[in-house]
Structure 1
Amino acid sequence: MKSLKCAVFTDTLISVSVESTFVRGLPGFNIVGLAGTTIKESESRVKAALMSLNFKFPASKIIINLSPSDVPKNGSHFDLAIALLIALQKESFGDDFFVFGELGLDGTLKSTASLFSTLLFLSAHVKNAKILVPKEIALRASTIPNYEVYAVENLAEAIRFFSDDEFATTCLMSETHPIFKDIIKIGNEIYVPNRNFTLNFKDIKGQERAKRASLIAASGMHNILFEGSPGCGKSMCAKRIAQILPPQSVSEILLSCAYESLNNKNVDFSALRAFRSPHHTSTRSSIFGGGSLGARIGEVALANGGELFFDELPHFGKQILESLREPLEDNKILISRVNSKTEYETKFIFVAAQNPCPCGHLFSQSTSCSCSANEIKKYKSVISGPLLDRIDLYVAMDEVSKDDRTSISSEEMYERVVCAFRAQKLRQQNELNAKLSDKDVQKFCVLESSAQNILESAISRYNLSQRGIIKTKKVARSIADLSESEVIAKVHLLEALSFRTRSEI
């Protein structure tokens, strides 16, 4: 029996061992192991491709098995592995290669629409893999870290690759993606910083408190809500937060790109974290994922590792807002359908913006508000207390003034974020401050005695929930990191309390 490795992505990545054997019996060609229609059709493509090389099929029964045999599989990229196992049945070769490629009838190798997505997910599961792919996708595949990529143009070259070691060395591709050339090292880990500040906080005049809150939110990936009059800069702040978020690790970039590839096949690596901003008229399925048959990825999962921005928060449906509670709390989302169940990570920073009332002028000193008390109550009742409890920082935006001036830039803010990020990683934190577990909060969010006294007073005075207490500690930890303080002091905790939602303060 001979075997080669392949992989398929359905709802999750599945590593597949393609096995072959020739047995006595009437000549035939059987593919077993819950192979889908596309794989069944590969019988004709493989036969035609081998015959184009004048290959003589043996007078035996050929059995191809796709293991594990209890998992449904589909995809024309299994063609090359099947053809090689038949052509090299009498040859000896290693079975440590992952082999991908669709065969043309003349033996040419082609890529498939889902192949790059499969390779991205594979890189997160298998380290230092050796893969053989069609030349047309080899350059993109070679930029994926953890891979040793070999490229061939047709079946004849693929056969020669396994039988001629000298030729095999000429097929090795070596290329590094530009973003992986600019790195920073913290401890033993490598991170890729963002240098793209097309949207700059320097463009925002005034709003110093909002900028401070944005800096704190970015430092620890804390959820934040901006509230203010129309045109005061809520959306401007929200969109600029994405560009000052902490640097990503290589594995985070791979996972982000892999998720994006499920939504858009033609993706590229980026040091900039994901930014998703669904419209308030978007359906629940498009935001959280789903579909009638398969469990398709939604905006919440696509924002993993980056920012999910909800503009005009009260205009989103009640069901959508309440469904946000699980991914915000558990940092994951499970999409269940009859035929599939898929779990995606949702470790994003949630940023929301809203007006204080339907007309937007409740906070205005120059324009009178035309809304009644009932209208304002109805407008805000869409946002429940449990959802607000999951917001770490609340910012009431100032009105625009003629005296407003520009101040700190995104470059300066990003440098401070990186310093705070470095402090978190050097403390051996596996997660950023906002994503710490309750156990890790006790370990890393250590308060001075004076800060502890203030927190105990705030619990009864502001009626803080248990979740509110923990989130206050996490925000205070990020403020302390920005101040390069090892412990959380009284001033850090007081600032964290000042950013609690108005319903509490």
Structure 2
Amino acid sequence: MKIINSATLQTIEAKSVDVEASFTNGLPSFTIVGLASNIIQESRDRVKSALLSNEFKFPAKKITINLSPSEIQKSGTHFDLAIALLIALYETNVVFNDFYIFGELSLDGKIKDSSSIFPIVLSLTKQKLVKNVLVSKESAKKLSKIPNINIYCVDNLDMAMQFFKFDNKEKFKYISSSFECESFSILNKSYYFLKDYELDFNEVKGQKYAIEASLIAAAGSHNILFEGSAGCGKSMISKRLKFIMPPMSLEEILEKAKLQSIDLKPIDFSPIRVFRAPHHSSTKSSIFGGGSGNSAKIGEIALSNNGILFFDELPHFSKSTLEALREPLEDFKVLISRVNSKVLYDTKFLFISAMNPCPCGNLLSISKDCRCSDLEVQRYKNRLSEPLLDRIDLYVVMNEPSVNEKVYYNSMQLHERVICAFKKQKQRAQNDLNGKLSDKEIKKFCKLDDSSSEILNKAIVNYKLSFRSINKILKVSRTIADLNNNENITKEDLMKALSYRKR
């Protein structure tokens, strides 16, 4: 019995699978067992056609393909190549050793990529289970970005058979390529960034206070809420934030690519962070993930990890969705539990939200009259609970811009300041940005001088600040200090942080 190493994807993590084949006497048949999905069952016809198209005579045997362990549900077209090789080479002395084999077969024997191959190999690499991989050239181009693995590629089934028949495998090896972007290293770790401003802040007139708050949010990954009349620039500023976000490490770029592949989106490997903006009519399951049994699906919360999650018209999201945001905003993880599966997602995203001051949107307008009663305004604002608002670091009220407003900043200026602040955070050996620091890390990195400590103590008494609010102010102050190139948090840094709290 021959065995080939492969794997299946369970939501976002891979499980190693042994593809086994047995050939016994009896009526000719071809069976796949081991909790294989309909997609895998259909591979029998693809494998038969691919083998017959390459002048291979199908054995007159009872062929059984087993996917082990049998208690795990398997899915994906990437098992095609492994199954075909087991059948094609069953009479030879070929040993597949420690190769993991992935690839979908076309009917003429060509090997194709599939959306699940990249996340599977990346997950196996993190688990230190894979060293050598055989895939198509299309797959190899993506996998070449993953470090510490040997990638071999073939075009068709015949080349795959030759690969295992001959000892010289180096000519099939795919040479990895580097990222085409700027980078720098801090403490022996590389970070990548791109000066590409498709949407630029030089298109935003006025709103100096809001743009400065956006700079702080980007530099420290602080959650931010914009409140203002319709058309004042809330969405405009939010959509430009992703282009000035901090540089990304190789692990973050690969994680982003993995989530893109799972979401069936093209993989770009760019160091521009992802921007997810679900509509307020989206269901809770589509935002947090859902499904049943073994088919749990990833949601917007997990897909925005290491990026931006933007909720426009925040009060119009369902009450259950807004309250469920508490856990991912506080713990940076969300657990999706089902009868047969439990999946834990990382949720270290920058949460940006925008809302009108009232249902009609004109409460803060200087040119339009508000049509809402006091009761309607109160009901509108009551849709946002205090525990949810307490998890938002920066609260910005935006005024209606006038015709003669000038442009204060462009994206390149802001991005350079973000990069400088990012370097200061990483030089302190922080694993996370300031906005995602734990309580223990806050005590270590957010140090106050004497005058700022006195101001904070007064603010705690006067504003009746909760423990979470104190930590929130300290984290924002730390980012402002980094932007101002201050070693410790000064009085000015703390005062500015206090100005962004919700009153």
Q: TM-score, normalised by structure 1?
A: 0.90
Q: For residues 485 and 44 of structure 1, do their structure 2 counterparts lie closer, same or farther at Cα, with a shift above 3 Å needed?
A: same
Identity over aligned residues, as a percent? Answer: 50
Q: For residues 331 and 155 of structure 1, do their structure 2 counterparts lie closer, same or farther at Cα, with a shift above 3 Å needed?
A: same
Question: Corresponding residue for 2:85?
Answer: 84
Question: Corresponding residue for 1:70?
Answer: 71
Q: Helix, strand or coil: the match of 2:150? A: strand
The answer as to whether partners of 1:361 and 1:368 remain within 8 angstroms in 2 is yes
The answer as to whether partners of 1:124 and 1:254 remain within 8 angstroms in 2 is no
Equivalent AA in structure 2 for residue 345 of structure 1: D
Residues 248-307 of structure 1 show CA distances to partners (whole Å, capped at 9, x for unaligned) of 111111111211222224333222111111222222222222235622222222211111
Question: Corresponding residue for 1:290?
Answer: 290
Q: Report matched runs for 1:34-183 at 5 Å.
A: 34-40=35-41, 42=43, 46=47, 49-50=50-51, 52-54=54-56, 57=59, 64-88=65-89, 90-91=92-93, 93=95, 95-104=97-106, 107-122=109-124, 124-126=126-128, 129-166=131-168, 168-176=169-177, 179-183=179-183
Q: Report matched runs for 1:98-497 at 5 Å.
A: 98-104=100-106, 107-122=109-124, 124-126=126-128, 129-166=131-168, 168-176=169-177, 179-291=179-291, 294-497=295-498
The whole-number CA distance in structure 2 between the counterparts of 1:114 and 1:19 is 17
The whole-number CA distance in structure 1 between the counterparts of 2:357 and 2:433 is 31
The whole-number CA distance in structure 1 between the counterparts of 2:110 and 2:317 is 51
Q: For residues 47 and 235 of structure 1, do their structure 2 counterparts lie closer, same or farther at Cα, with a shift above 3 Å needed?
A: closer
The answer as to whether partners of 1:17 and 1:67 remain within 8 angstroms in 2 is yes
The answer as to whether partners of 1:128 and 1:146 remain within 8 angstroms in 2 is no
The whole-number CA distance in structure 2 between the counterparts of 1:471 and 1:380 is 22
How many residues are paired up? 499
Q: Helix, strand or coil: the match of 2:36? A: coil
Equivalent AA in structure 2 for residue 130 of structure 1: N
Q: For residues 219 and 452 of structure 1, do their structure 2 counterparts lie closer, same or farther at Cα, with a shift above 3 Å needed?
A: same
Q: Identify the range of structure 1 (443-452 vs 263-272) with the bigger mean alpha-carbon deviation.
A: 263-272
The whole-number CA distance in structure 2 between the counterparts of 1:452 and 1:262 is 47
The whole-number CA distance in structure 2 between the counterparts of 1:330 and 1:113 is 30
Q: For residues 199 and 45 of structure 1, do their structure 2 counterparts lie closer, same or farther at Cα, with a shift above 3 Å needed?
A: closer
Question: Corresponding residue for 2:14?
Answer: 14
The whole-number CA distance in structure 1 between the counterparts of 2:286 and 2:64 is 42
Unaligned runs of 5+ in 1: none
The whole-number CA distance in structure 1 between the counterparts of 2:112 and 2:355 is 49
Tell me the CA shift for residue 182 of structure 1.
3.1
Q: Helix, strand or coil: the match of 1:501? A: coil
Equivalent AA in structure 2 for residue 269 of structure 1: F
Tell me the CA shift for residue 500 of structure 1.
0.4
Q: Helix, strand or coil: the match of 1:412? A: helix
Q: For residues 189 and 127 of structure 1, do their structure 2 counterparts lie closer, same or farther at Cα, with a shift above 3 Å needed?
A: farther
Residues 111-161 of structure 1 show CA distances to partners (whole Å, capped at 9, x for unaligned) of 335334434544554488422112444434435555432221222211211
Q: Identify the range of structure 1 (28-37 vs 79-88) with the bigger mean alpha-carbon deviation.
A: 28-37
The whole-number CA distance in structure 1 between the counterparts of 2:137 and 2:366 is 65
The answer as to whether partners of 2:100 and 2:130 remain within 8 angstroms in 1 is no
Q: For residues 243 and 108 of structure 1, do their structure 2 counterparts lie closer, same or farther at Cα, with a shift above 3 Å needed?
A: closer
Equivalent AA in structure 1 for residue 321 of structure 2: I
Unaligned runs of 5+ in 2: none
Equivalent AA in structure 2 for residue 302 of structure 1: L
The whole-number CA distance in structure 1 between the counterparts of 2:170 and 2:273 is 36
Q: For residues 402 and 171 of structure 1, do their structure 2 counterparts lie closer, same or farther at Cα, with a shift above 3 Å needed?
A: same
Q: Identify the range of structure 1 (22-31 vs 67-76) with the bigger mean alpha-carbon deviation.
A: 22-31
The answer as to whether partners of 1:222 and 1:434 remain within 8 angstroms in 2 is yes
Q: For residues 460 and 92 of structure 1, do their structure 2 counterparts lie closer, same or farther at Cα, with a shift above 3 Å needed?
A: same
The whole-number CA distance in structure 1 between the counterparts of 2:311 and 2:77 is 39
Equivalent AA in structure 1 for residue 267 of structure 2: V
Q: Helix, strand or coil: the match of 1:149? A: strand
The whole-number CA distance in structure 2 between the counterparts of 1:403 and 1:79 is 64
Q: Identify the range of structure 1 (341-350 vs 6-15) with the bigger mean alpha-carbon deviation.
A: 6-15
The whole-number CA distance in structure 2 between the counterparts of 1:383 and 1:127 is 46
Residues 302-355 of structure 1 show CA distances to partners (whole Å, capped at 9, x for unaligned) of 211111111121222222211111111111222233443322211111111112
Residues 437-457 of structure 1 show CA distances to partners (whole Å, capped at 9, x for unaligned) of 111111111111222221111
Q: Helix, strand or coil: the match of 1:391? A: coil
Tell me the CA shift for residue 39 of structure 1.
3.8
The answer as to whether partners of 1:11 and 1:340 remain within 8 angstroms in 2 is no
Q: CA RMSD in A?
A: 2.8
Q: Identify the range of structure 1 (255-264 vs 66-75) with the bigger mean alpha-carbon deviation.
A: 66-75
Q: For residues 68 and 444 of structure 1, do their structure 2 counterparts lie closer, same or farther at Cα, with a shift above 3 Å needed?
A: farther
The whole-number CA distance in structure 1 between the counterparts of 2:44 and 2:15 is 21
Q: TM-score, normalised by structure 2?
A: 0.90
Q: For residues 369 and 57 of structure 1, do their structure 2 counterparts lie closer, same or farther at Cα, with a shift above 3 Å needed?
A: closer
Question: Corresponding residue for 1:499?
Answer: 500
Residues 89-130 of structure 1 show CA distances to partners (whole Å, capped at 9, x for unaligned) of 643545222111234565443333533443454455448842
